[in-house]
A and B are shown apart, each in its own frame.
Chain A
Amino acid sequence: MKRRTVILAALAVIAAPLIAALPEEAHIIAITNARIVPVVGAEIPRGTILVEGGRIAAIGADVAVPAGARVVDATGLRAYPGMIDGYSSLGLVEISAVAATVDNRETGRINPQVRTLEAIRYDSMHIPISRSNGITAAIVAPSGGFVSGVSCLLKLDGWTHREMAVKPAAALHIELPGLRAARGGIAGGRRGALRPSPKGRRSWPSSKACSMPPGLTKSAGTRPPRTAVSPCRATTRRARACCRSSRASFRSWSPSTARRTSGPPRNSSATRTSRPSSTASSRVSRPPASWPRRGSPSSWARSTTCLRSGRTDTTPSSAIPGSWPRPGSRSPLVVERERRQGPPYHAAKAAAFGLDRGEALRAVTINTAEIFGVAGTMGSLEKGKAANIVLADGDILELRTNIAKVFIDGRETDLSNRYTELLEKFKK
């Protein structure tokens, strides 16, 4: 008995430091003295955010800091929700001219079964760069063809791509024909291409493997087959599709086609020919009035205004007051292949040309979250949401702002990236 007691005591002595070191309280973080910009709700000029278990436990001007919490003094800093990039190729493209490193464009015109999650290079050098600029989540989308594939929503922190996946299947991406594709016979094949499968109306990509109709692997320029493509059954009840177009041909896409394809697209980023572009680098879109949502014709207008940043618009910029979405309508910002620029700068550019600055901030945070169905967990600083918090020394949409800290799911992330590594290496 005595020996056992001695052994137990000895074990206790050895184990005590280890037990004390177990992060019982370490996963409670209190960010204090911050100027909090929750995006939803009023700014708090000086307040505290309490993070517990990866979520925001409390947020406000008088939040008590529990004993043992790790205190991060954010005096002089602003706290924002982590930004969400609404359209990127993060993890799919390393060096765009080197085909071996490019994985965002599959061959063929109709590829609903292709999923970007399965190709993410989680160790991409671009991910830490985006993260260190305050972007904590991103839609990684496929491109090319007519039906490009299925995107995923990633949080920009994790050791494997599966760990990073917030939504393994976020949306089906469709690229409506532009000038180049017009020659390829899309015009003739549009209706056939998206005819619902014989199985029924609700046919969207799912985790099951899809069989591609033979002959669909030719590149653009061939006529799409008349038989229906066979997307598989949806995993989610309400499927999302993102349509991308740079022409008003979007508007001419037959609404009857849309109705037949079992569920309307949720967002669109199209240009209206008649409206001069409000900025040289962004295009505001509005869905055509003729696209009723199944069962609720009016809900379309409420939900879908997307800003997309174009690369080749050379018309002179002009500010057209009144052409921006009215306050209250949601406008998520999507950035096309300008991964280096990042959503904040595009949002600010839109604000330069008339978009309300508050709306510009919402466009890279809560709006994107709502569009992709994750507004319950991210997009704003609210109690219960994931602790995706960015501490910045100024307005997060400003070019000169420095990001001091980035928390994803309550974990402080490493802000070093390819830029800082190379700079340190050659400074010596």
Chain B
Amino acid sequence: MKNPAIPRLAVCALIAAAGLRPALADGGSILIKNGTLLTVTKGVIAKGDVLVVDGIIKQVGGDIAAPAGVRIVDATGRFVVPGLIDSHTHVALAGTNEGSEAITPEADVGAVINADDTSILTALSGGVTMVHTMHGSANPIGGPNVVLKMKWGRPSEELVVGEALPTLKFALGENVKQASRTVQPGQTQRYPGTRMGANAIIRREFARARNYMEQWDRYRKAAAGKNPPANLVPPRRDLRLEVLAEVLRGERVARVHSYQATETVEFMELAKEFGFKIQCFEHIWEGYKIADELAAAGIGISVFADSWAYKMEAAEGIAYMAGYCAKRGVLVSINSDSGERIRRLFNDAAKTMKYGGLTEDEALRLVTINLAVQLGVDRIVGSLEVGKQGDIAVFSEHPLSAYTRCDMTVIEGAVYFDRDEIVKAREAAAAKAAAPRAEGGAR
């Protein structure tokens, strides 16, 4: 089949245009019929419907009559799952690492959201509806992260998920040490250059933050007193330490990039010392060595399925990790950390059935409800339940089959990715380009 050359830009423009259709910003309505419903939390419904009205799931299962004006999608022979969630990515951001200094908790990625990043569309093509997009791992303390819905075509403010737990990115290990970088002539190596330096610098900052909190407490106590002294001056605000103070007060949780067992256990000790909560360790390829400790501490992990051996600290990673830790009671989620893997999170989840012996149900949780729990949004997403938001993905085969593909992705009842439409758009573009120039084509 000979295809005429289509200007790439034209195709992209068409795809972009398809996304910029006015999908309702405040939530849409849709009825998905006759699919196999994998609710994740309430079992599998062999054949049923899902009704979303104004962005909220109103009914799950059974034969639902379509309300007036609601789009109907026939999912016969297909599988309907809650939209997948990816809790460790760097998509849709115009910057991820303020690497010029080691400690930058004031640098908030929420300030640099890029809603035009085509990775959003890529994520949608893999059934992903929500991501926790983060700082990189250049800094021991990177900064606050943000949770976004993949609403392709909407302005950046509409992507932010306000209900999510505020998080702060920490990192340990080779990336922080800048192990792979050569120091240029005239430059000095950044501190910390070792793992012990990384721990020390984090401890130093938390000690400062604690001191800062004490100063402010003293000031407030004095200011609230009956006769505050006339020369009472508030302490100088430090935006950096305020973010750390939030962590110490429990208003923000830590998400820590780490690989080796030692640095992970040491960070857990540090967290105990200062009394703050670690929500999740990221990557943590040696996590299977300390699975019981992680389970006992109630700390989750966000990991790859089998992408290992790219660095020394990943050299002891094993594909059994996710499944093994899940069986030991750790809250496990699978992440992508890449614009490529985000398209196939469901494939990675399936690998835990082979490596780890998880059931279908358990494997599916690794990319849906577990993430919702880790991000603090399990009240609104993560499963097909009445009352949750209508974030749904429709797959051609069972999502854990190697032969599956995501055909449609719905966020809050509005269709943001429809494979059939994209195919039609391309074919239309090809037909148009094949027309003679006089008729508006490219010939």
What is the CB-to-nearest-CB distance from A422 to chain B, in angstroms, rounded to a whole number? 5
Among B118, B319, B426, which residue has the most Cβ atoms of chain A within 10 A? B319
- Whether a CB of chain A sits under 8 angstroms from the CB of B316 is yes
Interface pairs (14), CB distance under 8 Å: A97-B310, A276-B426, A280-B343, A314-B118, A316-B124, A320-B426, A323-B1, A351-B403, A352-B405, A353-B405, A399-B402, A400-B400, A418-B318, A422-B288
Contact call A426/B312, Cβ cutoff below 8 A: no
Contact call A316/B422, Cβ cutoff below 8 A: yes
Contact with B along A389-428 (1 / 0, CB 8 A): 0000000011111100000000000000011101100100
Contact partner of A348 (CB less than 8 A), chosen from B8, B311, B403, B422, is: B403
Contact with B along A296-333 (1 / 0, CB 8 A): 00000000000000011110111110110000000000
Q: Using A275-B3, A318-B422, A399-B347 as known contacts, say yes or no to A312 and B340 having CB atoms under 8 A apart.
A: yes
Contact call A281/B401, Cβ cutoff below 8 A: no
Contact with B along A254-282 (1 / 0, CB 8 A): 00000000000000000011111001110
Among A316, A320, A423, which residue has the most Cβ atoms of chain B within 10 A? A316
Contact call B400/A314, Cβ cutoff below 8 A: no
Specify the chain A residue showing the minimal Cβ separation from B348. Answer: A399
Contact call A276/B343, Cβ cutoff below 8 A: no
- Whether a CB of chain A sits under 8 angstroms from the CB of B404 is yes
Name the prevailing secondary structure of the A interface residues. loop
Contact call A317/B125, Cβ cutoff below 8 A: yes
Q: Using A274-B3, A345-B402 as known contacts, say yes or no to A95 and B344 having CB atoms under 8 A apart.
A: no
- List residues of chain A with CB within 8 A of the CB of B404: 352
Specify the chain B residue showing the minimal Cβ separation from A98. Answer: B312
Specify the chain A residue showing the minimal Cβ separation from B358. Answer: A400
What is the CB-to-nearest-CB distance from B277 to chain A, in angstroms, rounded to a whole number? 26
Specify the chain A residue showing the minimal Cβ separation from B308. Answer: A340
In the A-B complex, the 4 residue pairs with the closest CB atoms: A348-B402, A274-B3, A399-B350, A400-B353
What is the CB-to-nearest-CB distance from A307 to chain B, in angstroms, rounded to a whole number? 15
Contact partner of B402 (CB less than 8 A), chosen from A272, A311, A312, A352, is: A352
Contact call B419/A318, Cβ cutoff below 8 A: yes
Specify the chain B residue showing the minimal Cβ separation from A96. Answer: B310
Interface residues of B (CB under 8 A from A): 1, 3-6, 8, 11, 15, 118-119, 121-122, 124-125, 180, 288-289, 306-312, 314-316, 318-320, 324, 339-340, 343-344, 347, 350-351, 353-355, 396-397, 400-406, 417, 419, 422-423, 426, 430
Q: Using A314-B118, A314-B122, A422-B318 as known contacts, say yes or no to A95 and B312 having CB atoms under 8 A apart.
A: yes
- List residues of chain A with CB within 8 A of the CB of B400: 399-400
- List residues of chain A with CB within 8 A of the CB of B340: 280-281, 311-314
What is the CB-to-nearest-CB distance from A302 to chain B, in angstroms, rounded to a whole number? 17
What is the CB-to-nearest-CB distance from B12 to chain A, in angstroms, rounded to a whole number? 9
Q: Using A312-B340, A314-B339, A422-B316 as known contacts, say yes or no to A95 and B310 having CB atoms under 8 A apart.
A: yes
Specify the chain A residue showing the minimal Cβ separation from B261. Answer: A426
Contact partner of A401 (CB less than 8 A), chosen from B307, B354, B396, is: B354
In the assembly, what is the distance between CA of A103 and CA of B315, in Å?
A: 17
In the assembly, what is the distance between CA of A401 and CA of B354, in Å?
A: 6
Contact partner of B288 (CB less than 8 A), chosen from A95, A397, A399, A426, is: A426
- List residues of chain A with CB within 8 A of the CB of B397: 352
In the assembly, what is the distance between CA of A423 and CA of B325, in Å?
A: 11
Contact call B122/A398, Cβ cutoff below 8 A: no
Contact call A419/B419, Cβ cutoff below 8 A: no
Contact call B309/A96, Cβ cutoff below 8 A: yes
In the assembly, what is the distance between CA of A276 and CA of B10, in Å?
A: 13
Contact call A340/B8, Cβ cutoff below 8 A: no
Total chain A interface residues with beta-carbon distance under 8 A: 48
- Whether a CB of chain B sits under 8 angstroms from the CB of A357 is yes
Contact partner of B351 (CB less than 8 A), chosen from A276, A357, A399, A422, is: A399
What is the CB-to-nearest-CB distance from A168 to chain B, in angstroms, rounded to a whole number? 26
Contact call B318/A423, Cβ cutoff below 8 A: yes
- List residues of chain A with CB within 8 A of the CB of B344: 281, 349
- List residues of chain B with CB within 8 A of the CB of A323: 1
- Whether a CB of chain B sits under 8 angstroms from the CB of A126 is yes
Given contacts A275-B1, A351-B403, A423-B324, 12 further A-B contacts (CB under 8 A): A96-B310, A314-B118, A314-B122, A320-B423, A345-B347, A397-B402, A399-B354, A400-B353, A400-B354, A402-B354, A422-B316, A423-B318
In the assembly, what is the distance between CA of A316 and CA of B118, in Å?
A: 9
Specify the chain A residue showing the minimal Cβ separation from B291. Answer: A426
Contact with B along A328-355 (1 / 0, CB 8 A): 0000000000001100110011011100
Contact call A352/B15, Cβ cutoff below 8 A: no
Contact partner of B405 (CB less than 8 A), chosen from A311, A314, A319, is: A319
- Whether a CB of chain B sits under 8 angstroms from the CB of A370 is no
- List residues of chain B with CB within 8 A of the CB of A126: 309
Complex interface residues of chain A between 343 and 389 (CB less than 8 A to chain B): 344-345, 348-349, 351-353, 357
- List residues of chain A with CB within 8 A of the CB of B122: 280, 314, 316
What is the CB-to-nearest-CB distance from A356 to chain B, in angstroms, rounded to a whole number? 12
